[in-house]
Structure 1
């Protein structure tokens, strides 16, 4: 197995990870929603990441066997709100997103809530496969795109998680 595609560990975010995480965020979202100029949103994301860290959100980075940052997550342990899981396109389908979601569940074992763009069928399917159910709809305030509000609860009956 290619070590550059294999998860080694998930670590807490450090300031030194900032360039890799920001580049990964721009690349991933540019590929996911190409109609939006995520390069132009780079500064916003840096500010968002710093504010999340300063507000006590848990930010974790997934590293491969070769030390590449393959993905990250941002979750608020106080509320269970998952701001995002982002995985570089090179690592799509390699288990990185699942490992990050497992880490999110470790950090918030009772309940996780998130908003996902309806125009991101890959993410919607991922969350539904992993036991999230729709609890509402909304609109992303930055893009104006329709969103789904999804929730996972540890106590949710298995039939609802499927």
Structure 2
């Protein structure tokens, strides 16, 4: 214990309405680090509306929190029915920390048979991460909101090593 409070490790929890400000702040910071030329600040409302629409269709948004103060490290949005992983986002100060791997595991708990996603073809860091996590390229996707070409990638429990 520190200062009378227990030390709390990372945990996965469902998104609550009170999490929107922290979630959009994190999303803007992460994408700004990846694509500095795009104004993600202007897309905050788009993100919130997009996630709300996905959740109304059955998707779930899970947060990776640390500490007793609910420090948001990252989040993932997955539709278990379609197996679609729509959002995976980690705070840029936590890139390479294992947070993304924890969020992938959370996504797999929601969709244990398979996961599909699209990723910008020029986002080499993300593509390398997904490949390390067992995702394979299965085709080209529709252009991203920014007009960038995308790849469709898939992870399948049947293809995963035992």
The answer, yes or no, to whether TM exceeds 0.5 is yes
Indicate conservation of the 8 Å contact 2:139/2:153, yes or no: yes
In structure 2, the partner of 1:64 is 66
Determine the C-alpha separation between the residues in 1 that align with 2:117 and 2:154: 6
> Contact 1:62/1:96 (CA < 8 Å) preserved in 2?
yes
Q: 2:24 maps to which residue?
A: 22
* 1:110 aligned residue: 113
* Match status 1:37 vs 2:39: yes
C-alpha change, 1:7 and 1:118, in structure 2 (3 Å) is farther
1:90 matched residue in structure 2: 93
- 3-state secondary structure, aligned to 1:145: coil
Deviation at 1:145, TM superposition (A): 0.2
Partner of 1:152: 155
Q: Residue 7 of structure 1: CA displacement?
A: 5.0
Asked which structure has the greater CA Rg, the reply is 2
- CA distance in structure 2 between the aligned counterparts of 1:64 and 1:91, rounded to whole angstroms: 12
Q: Deviations over 1:64-86 (max 9, x none)?
A: 12521010000000010000110
How many aligned positions are there?
A: 153
Following superposition, the deviation at residue 122 of structure 1 comes to 1.0
Q: CA deviation at 1:126?
A: 0.4
SS of aligned partner of 2:73: strand
Gaps of 5+ in 2: 1-7
Q: Deviations over 1:125-145 (max 9, x none)?
A: 000001000000123242110
Runs of 5+ unmatched residues, structure 1: 1-5
Do residues 142 (structure 1) and 142 (structure 2) align? no
Give the alignment's TM-score, normalised by structure 1.
Answer: 0.89
Deviating beyond 6 angstroms after TM superposition, the runs of 4 or more aligned structure 1 residues are none
Q: Which residue number in structure 2 is paired with residue 100 of structure 1? A: 103
